[in-house]
Chains A and B, each alone.
Chain A
């Protein structure tokens, strides 16, 4: 069984799973867990986009 993902979708799946674990383990209440998980997910996704543009700028 092989699993085909683009680079970006692989990064998003990574971000989703990692931010889920971060949210649950780093906060105490369900509301705070959800908010922190969403915050981590946004940071992961935004970080990927920023890093991608940075590499594009370096190349050109």
Chain B
């Protein structure tokens, strides 16, 4: 004779992970975190973490711009320029704002401007790490 608990389990309609709130969050959180630094944590109610991540990425990005760093455009030329573009793109909406406002022309006459270029690239890369962290929270790998 079959165990009633097993029958009930088998007869239940399988629930897709994407149908659950946590399942949709696994897609929304990393995308939101990439678009706006810290947003992936905010929508999961990690207010302080999100704020600190947002501050860190914003400060790095705008300090880089203030140091007259370069914002890379899409290119198919030098490998380092391509990687620079990929890194910059990690900053999400900050990158698009900087491009649309024509910020980040760069200044080859200032040594600190080269630091600024690296600041902007690293801000994007740190934001990618933060977005991955938001994903880990969404899947329950991290609290």
Contact = CB atoms under 8 A, between A and B. Distances in A.
Q: How large is the interface on A (under 10, 10 to 19, 20 to 34, 35 or more residues)?
A: 10 to 19
B87 to A, nearest CB: 13
A24 B59 contact: no
Contact of B112 (A1, A5, A14, A20): A5
A24 B49 contact: yes
B73 to A, nearest CB: 21
Given A3-B66, A3-B67, A10-B112, A17 B60 contact: yes
B56 interface: yes
Q: How large is the interface on B (under 10, 10 to 19, 20 to 34, 35 or more residues)?
A: 20 to 34
Interface in A7-22: 7, 10, 13-14, 16-18, 20-22
Contacts of A14: 60, 115, 118-119, 122
A17 B129 contact: no
A20 B56 contact: yes
A21 B53 contact: yes
Interface of B: 49, 52-53, 55-57, 59-60, 63, 65-68, 111-112, 115-116, 118-119, 122-123, 126, 129-130, 132-133, 142-143
